[in-house]
Chain A
Amino acid sequence: MIDKKLYDMPQGTDMAWCPGCGNFPILNIVKMAFAELDIKPQDAVICSGIGQAAKTPHYLRVNYFNGLHGRALPPAIAIKVTNPKLTVIAESGDGDTYGEGGNHFMHTIRRNPDITNIVHDNMIYGLTKGQASPTSEKGMKNPIQKEGVIVEQFNPLAVALSLDATFVARAFTGDILQTKDIIKAAILHKGYALVDVFQPCVVYNKQNTYQWFKEKGYYVDGSHDKTDKMKAMELAFDLERLALGIIYQREGKPTYETLVREGSEPLYEKSFDKAALENLIDTYK
């Protein structure tokens, strides 16, 4: 096991998160998971978009691609395909992943690359100061919908299941050990793995608090059959009581990087086939 400290940034690194924010425990959990899984910082890449959650890669020592708002997933796919040996994590907020990046969310699941998608779901836009996110509850008052959100809440678990994601989980940042185990399982899972982590925003979301989540959330127990998709759907659709843990998992589905290319060496190691080019040019004679 790698010493978790290896992932720590130097003392005094400035962090842009508010005290008490649910992002801190997730950062810690990701480091723990990496350490316990023996993933060297050099062998991991975290892709993120823009938002408070998306700043995560700046706060631990790994490779990272901190791209544009909504675009954590497309680079993550390409990185995994280019170098399948890397452990690739896409980590961003709910707005980033389900709103601006909604189309990529759907189509990444359809491709099924072997990446882990950790979504810090605070049910709000944090960085831009408290507007509604796709996962905000109907009726939630915010600076733009003064009377409350009037559109339907986005259900990431149900959407992922409907697109045949093979690992779908919900976690709560308040439960360090359980969340760590879920994220470890997600990283080990071969294929696209969604972990929607509920993460209270203590500044802008006064409605979905630690307390609110403690009351609503419950863990699926050992009797839950993770391979039962209809049962998983039922759990995903229940927004009264929020099921936590691995809701659905199925092994054996081929991953995108094995389908779209041959071999698993990094593309930069491949040498160029001059003879093939000469042969191809000859066909135009």
Chain B
Amino acid sequence: MKRFSGDISLVLGGAAGMGVQTVEALLVQVLKREGYHVFASKEYMSRIRGGSNSTEIRLTDKKRSAFVKRIDFLFAMDKDVIPHLKGRISKETIVLGEREKVCGAAPECHAIDIPFTRFANELGNPLYTSTVAVGVALGILRADEGVFENYLREHFARKGEEVVKKNIEAAEKGYAFGKHIAYHEGIEVRLTKSKAVESEILLDGTEALGLGVLAAGCNYISSYPMSPGTGLLTFLAEHSKDFGVVVDQAEDEIAAINQGLGAWYAGARAIVTTSGGGFDLMVEGVSLSGIIETPIVVHVGQRPGPATGLPTRTEQADLNLVLYAGHGEFPRAIFTPGTGEEAFLIAQQAFYIADKYQVPVFILTDQYFLDSVRSFKENGLQKIQSENFIIETKAGYKRYAITADGVSPRGVPGYGDGLVGIDSDEHDEDAHITESAKMRVLMHEKRWRKMEGVRDEAFLPTEIGDVARADIIIVSWGSNRGVIEEALEMVKRDDVAGLHFHQVYPLPKKVKKLLMKKKIVVLENNFSGQFTNLLKLEYGVKITDTILKYDGDPFSVEEVVEKLKAIS
């Protein structure tokens, strides 16, 4: 008997263009509707055809949002899958696939044969292979076949009755075969379904962020494609008509951010999206936003650098980049979502802070976060009022009026009797070039006064476990929330708790108290400990240890558990 219960990792592996994506998309949808908690993450090569990619789908009794190294079921599409995932396959792993294609002549390869080619012939088209594969998985799990059939009916309705019929036939074949395998191999899977999950929403990081950007009233995006930032551009393009979003594909990232600023200046709500390399080109625009006090929201989806680095993999090494981007000194804010709920909220908060304080605001994500799919309750999408801080100007309006909180009421051209000028030179209240040292100091201090408001509104980090009582605090930011949550639960140590930051700059003053007299261990996906250093700088605290990873893959639950066990 091979028993699996409560926590299953199912991995799909194959070359690009082989349909792994299709199987994954179908499978997670159906599993969610069946009432399973699912979490899917992927790793892929920077190529359109060939190579070896994989997606991990976790099915768990409790909601999880982290990658595990372990593979329970591996659906392999070709012979490169096993060598590619070698380090994650154990004796317990059940490998499934068309044996001839998966094993070739390799002697010690044990794969349970799924005759996809035969099925394709029977069905008259290899197109249905994905549906067969999903059917096999569901058969092994002994999931409810009806849910799958209903889904196929909905999903393929537009393509006509024939396609629906064929898909259902394919699903049935797969399902029957899956059950047959489970029986013959003595595989038993025990998972608790939850009614509540069925009605949850299921989305990846990009979609959660995109919905938040729409909720923020964004109506302008100008960007240049770069993985993994492109997804947001595509998302907004897809919904541009329904939401009246102007979508401009810029000639380069420099144009993108300068357009974004022009759009805000004229009264739009704009975002730009990119990755580290593209953001390098945008840096002048960040500095421009700083002095012209025109809002801008910048999404940077991180991937490993330097330069082109590992284009499709993950890292958290651009915190310093966004923290220090742009010459001169000016306030800014940086948000780092770790869950879908956070991404939705953060997108709105980013627009709110940018608009209210007229500063550049960053949403810093990474490939792992953007590509990972999770389900959660719809009311997890917390809406904040999307305010618009534009004023109607009067004659004699001064764009850079010096105020107590540093915020000069922002007019836009054509709305009111005033004239609205903005200037990248140091300027006076009227936005005209000045070289007066006195005015420079007044303006510089005015801009910096806004930082107090930005800091006062900073999000508090999320406490995981009992931070006040713990002696050791494990700190994470961005995409690592899920992995520290799960690992902390696994190690069951009363003396260790977690603190997750979904805003990393500016840091709220209050939190310093939480960190005093504790051992602090920071976990992040980079080499130099960028957030570690920021914590030291901002709070003056001592950091006991760091857990760092920079191989392009996300942390696995197993490796974090091991580290947490060893901490003393």
Contacts and interface: CB of A to CB of B under 8 A. Distances in A.
B243 A82 contact: no
A204 B416 CA distance: 42
Contacts of B262: 47, 65, 67, 74-79, 82
B199 interface: yes
B292 interface: yes
Contacts of B339: none
Contacts of B200: 285
Contact of A74 (B259, B416, B424): B259
A29 to B, nearest CB: 20
Contact of B433 (A58, A79, A273): A58
B493 to A, nearest CB: 36
B199 A285 contact: yes
Interface stretch (B104-112, B120-128, B209-217): B209-217
A45 interface: yes
A40 to B, nearest CB: 9
Nearest to B417: A42
Interface string A71-114: 10111111101110110000000000000000110110000000
B413 A79 contact: yes
Interface in B183-200: 199-200
B540 interface: no
B252 A103 contact: yes
Contact of B421 (A66, A79, A260): A66
B263 A280 contact: no
B419 A42 contact: yes
A53 to B, nearest CB: 14
Contacts of B419: 41-42, 61-63
B421 to A, nearest CB: 5
Given A57-B421, A68-B424, A103-B252, A78 B266 contact: yes
A64 interface: yes
Interface string B372-414: 0000001001000010101000000000000000000000111
Interface stretch (A157-165, A192-200, A262-270): A262-270
A128 to B, nearest CB: 15
Contacts of A47: 262
Interface in B49-74: none
A50 B258 CA distance: 14
Given A74-B259, A261-B244, A268-B388, A64 B421 contact: yes
B421 A63 contact: yes
Contacts of B413: 42-43, 45, 63, 79, 83, 86
B259 A83 contact: no
Interface string A266-285: 11101011001100110011
B255 A107 contact: yes
A78 B219 CA distance: 12
Given A75-B259, A82-B267, A266-B414, A280 B239 contact: yes
Interface of B: prevailing SS: mixed
A266 B415 contact: yes
Interface string A24-46: 00000000000000000111010
A190 interface: no
A120 interface: no
Interface string A245-272: 0000000000000001110001110101
A67 B292 contact: yes
B258 A268 contact: no
A43 B263 CA distance: 16
A25 to B, nearest CB: 21
B219 A79 contact: no
Contacts of B267: 82-83, 266-268
B261 interface: yes
A126 B431 CA distance: 23
Given A78-B266, A267-B246, A277 B255 contact: no
A58 B427 CA distance: 11
A280 B247 contact: no
A180 interface: no
Contacts of B417: 42
A65 B201 contact: no
A284 B235 CA distance: 13
Given A79-B413, A262-B244, A65 B422 contact: yes
Contacts of B219: 267, 270
Contacts of B418: 42
Contacts of A61: 419
A43 to B, nearest CB: 6
B254 interface: yes
Interface in B217-269: 217, 219-220, 222, 239, 241-244, 246-248, 250-252, 254-256, 258-263, 265-269
B268 A268 contact: yes
Contacts of B424: 50, 66-68
A79 B263 CA distance: 5
B80 interface: no
A141 interface: no
Nearest to B288: A68
B207 interface: yes
A170 interface: no
A268 B203 CA distance: 29
Contact of B266 (A86, A273, A285): A86
A261 B268 CA distance: 13
A252 B431 CA distance: 38
A92 to B, nearest CB: 13
Given A75-B258, A104-B251, A276-B242, A45 B266 contact: yes
B288 A82 contact: no
B284 interface: yes
B425 interface: yes
Given A71-B255, A262-B241, A266-B267, 4 more contacts: A41-B419, A78-B259, A268-B390, A273-B242
Interface of A: 16, 41-43, 45, 47, 50, 55, 57-58, 61-68, 71, 73-79, 81-83, 85-86, 103-104, 106-107, 260-262, 266-268, 270, 272-273, 276-277, 280-281, 284-285
Query: What are the 9 closest A-B residue pairs judged by CB atoms, nearest first?
Result: A75-B262, A78-B262, A268-B267, A63-B413, A74-B258, A107-B251, A82-B266, A284-B201, A78-B263
